[in-house]
């Protein structure tokens, strides 16, 4: 049965919402356990909708604030349901408010927090969910949440740097594409007609000119289908990479792109080192820690390597041994792990590894930001040159035809 309630907190603030309970008495008991004093409880009330509609989104800033505040409240010993209820009431994002309310309801029903997060993949990423699961497994949820907030900010900073470097080239590319369509659809047919009329019907135009006119003809008659097909292709591709097999193949492809591979591997190693070290220091077994950390890497291919390593550890091998054969983990990781296994200080050594790779990622991104803009400008300049040649080609052919 659903109940609508109005209650007061210990600091005399008002809290209201809906909840599921077998009866009124159970609803009162559930609110009391959350540290709330029921004022009004009514049977009924509309169920909050958490279905994402067009335009509904949670900004990274909101997610960071939520994560940090939840970490602080959990660390202070505030019951999880009460912490979620407080965060739900104070957020200004209407969609995020319903999401937190749905999470709170699931937690009240006995579900782990990570499972409740998993119901909202549009808000919480796989990395977020698996790191929350790691925190629950090791009893260090507050520490993991704090690390998650820092990680979200770092990822946002990386994306901001890349977007900043690509802003100017993207504008040029957009203008170039629009100009190309305009020239091919509206100008080239007129130029082609002039060439055909002046050169005569029996004149064989150059291959370059004929190819250009044919392309113009195709774009003139099928432009709408090309655009719709492109949009549909992007939509289907994005749906495909959300499937397990599609995501695995896409992640494998990303690891074949030279510069991108370097960034992905270093980020993955830093995440592995920090999460695994935190779990080990919390007393979680190596195999359990590897299985949980594998899902928090952010790349399915590298995560699968960790799961394979867990199987070898089950057979009695040290973790450093299977990682030394890895295609993606740098040799320094297995060497440092071997030292940690010998000295019994795996967690301490892995934290140093994580610090090292975090600095490496920052250095690479800064260097990438410095070279990506001029590199893309050169590429786009070449495209502009091709378009200019495409326009001048028929005119040159026309001059040759007139000259003969």
Please report, rounded to a whole number, the percentage of residues in the chain having pLDDT higher than 70. Answer: 79
pLDDT-derived band at 291 (thresholds 50, 70, 90) equals confident
Asked if the model's pLDDT at residue 6 lies above 80, the reply is no
Q: What is the pLDDT of residues 221-269, one digit of tens each?
A: 888 888 899 899 999 999 999 898 999 999 999 999 887 888 888 888 8
- For position 49, what pLDDT does the model report? 47
pLDDT-derived band at 137 (thresholds 50, 70, 90) equals confident
Q: What is the pTM of this model?
A: 0.62
What are residue 313's phi and psi, to 5 degrees?
Answer: -65, -35
Cβ 122 vs Cβ 52: under 8 Å: yes
Q: Which residues pair with 41 in a beta bridge?
A: 5
Sheet holding 2-8, edge to edge: 14-20, 2-8, 37-43
pLDDT-derived band at 218 (thresholds 50, 70, 90) equals confident
* Rounded mean pLDDT, 286-304: 83
Q: What is the pLDDT of residues 162-201, one digit of tens each?
A: 677 667 667 777 887 787 788 778 877 887 677 667 666 6
CA 343 distance to own-chain centroid: 37
- For position 235, what pLDDT does the model report? 94
Cβ atoms within 10 Å of 370's Cβ, excluding its own:
11
Crossing angle between the packed helical segments 258-281 and 126-138, to the nearest 10 degrees = 20
- For position 7, what pLDDT does the model report? 75
First to last CA, the chain: 91
Strands (DSSP E) found in 288-366 = none
- Of the candidates 323, 318, 349, the residue with the CA atom closest to the CA atom of residue 334: 323
- For position 110, what pLDDT does the model report? 80
Structure token pair of residue 381:
């300049």
Q: What share of the chain is helix, strand, coil (3-state, %, to 5)?
A: 75, 5, 20
Strands (DSSP E) found in 9-119 = 14-20, 37-43
Cβ atoms within 10 Å of 153's Cβ, excluding its own:
16
CA distance linking residue 272 with residue 131, whole number of Å: 10
Cβ 394 vs Cβ 209: under 8 Å: yes
Q: What is the pLDDT of residues 73-119, one digit of tens each?
A: 988 989 898 999 999 988 888 889 999 998 988 888 788 898 899 88
Cβ 96 vs Cβ 62: under 8 Å: yes
List the Cα angle 354/358/361 in 5-degree steps.
140
What are residue 92's phi and psi, to 5 degrees?
Answer: -95, -15
Q: What is the pLDDT of residues 344-397, one digit of tens each?
A: 888 888 888 888 888 887 787 777 666 766 776 777 677 667 656 655 655 665
The CA radius of gyration of the chain, in Å to the nearest whole number, is: 29
Count the alpha carbons within 13 Å of 98 in the hemisphere toward its beta carbon. 13
Q: What burial class does residue 52 get, using C-beta atoms within 10 Å of its C-beta: 0-12 exposed, 13-18 middle, 19+ buried?
A: middle
What are residue 54's phi and psi, to 5 degrees?
Answer: -60, 130
Asked if the model's pLDDT at residue 24 lies above 60, the reply is yes
């Amino acid at each position: 049965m659903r109940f609508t309630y109005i209650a007061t907190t210990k600091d005399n603030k008002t809290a209201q919402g809906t909840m599921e309970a077998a009866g009124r008495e159970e609803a009162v008991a559930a609110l009391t356990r959350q540290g709330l004093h029921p004022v009004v409880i009514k049977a009924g009330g509309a169920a909050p909708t958490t279905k994402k509609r067009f335009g509904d989104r949670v900004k990274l800033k909101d997610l960071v604030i939520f994560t940090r505040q939840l970490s602080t409240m959990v660390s202070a010993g505030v019951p999880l349901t009460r912490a979620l209820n407080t965060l739900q009431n104070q957020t200004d994002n209407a969609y995020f408010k319903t999401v937190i309310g749905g999470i709170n309801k699931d937690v009240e029903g006995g579900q782990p927090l990570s499972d409740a997060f998993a119901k909202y993949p549009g808000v919480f990423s796989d990395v977020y969910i698996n790191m929350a699961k790691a925190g629950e497994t090791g009893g260090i949820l507050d520490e993991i949440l704090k690390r998650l907030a820092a990680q979200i900010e770092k990822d946002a900073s990386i994306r901001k740097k890349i977007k900043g470097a690509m802003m100017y080239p993207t504008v040029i590319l957009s203008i170039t594409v629009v100009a190309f369509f305009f020239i091919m659809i509206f100008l080239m047919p007129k130029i082609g007609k002039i060439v055909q009329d002046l050169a005569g019907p029996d004149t064989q135009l150059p291959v370059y000119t004929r190819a250009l006119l044919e392309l113009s003809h195709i774009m003139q008659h099928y432009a709408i289908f090309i655009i719709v097909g492109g949009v549909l292709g992007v939509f289907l591709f994005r749906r495909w990479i959300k499937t397990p097999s599609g995501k695995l193949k896409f992640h494998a492809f990303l690891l074949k792109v030279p510069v991108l591979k370097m960034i992905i591997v270093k980020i993955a190693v830093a995440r592995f080192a920090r999460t695994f070290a935190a779990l080990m220091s919390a007393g979680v077994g190596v195999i359990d820690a590897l299985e949980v950390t594998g899902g928090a890497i952010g790349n399915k291919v590298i995560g699968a390597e960790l799961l394979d390593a867990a199987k070898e550890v089950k057979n009695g091998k040290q973790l450093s041994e299977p990682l030394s054969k890895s295609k993606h983990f740098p040799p320094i990781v297995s060497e440092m792990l071997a030292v940690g296994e010998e000295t019994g200080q795996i967690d301490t050594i892995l934290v140093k590894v994580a610090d090292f790779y975090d600095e490496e990622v920052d250095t690479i991104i800064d260097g990438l930001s410095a070279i990506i803009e001029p590199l893309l400008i050169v590429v786009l300049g070449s495209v502009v040159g091709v378009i200019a040649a495409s326009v001048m080609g028929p005119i040159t052919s026309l001059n040759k035809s007139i000259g003969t």
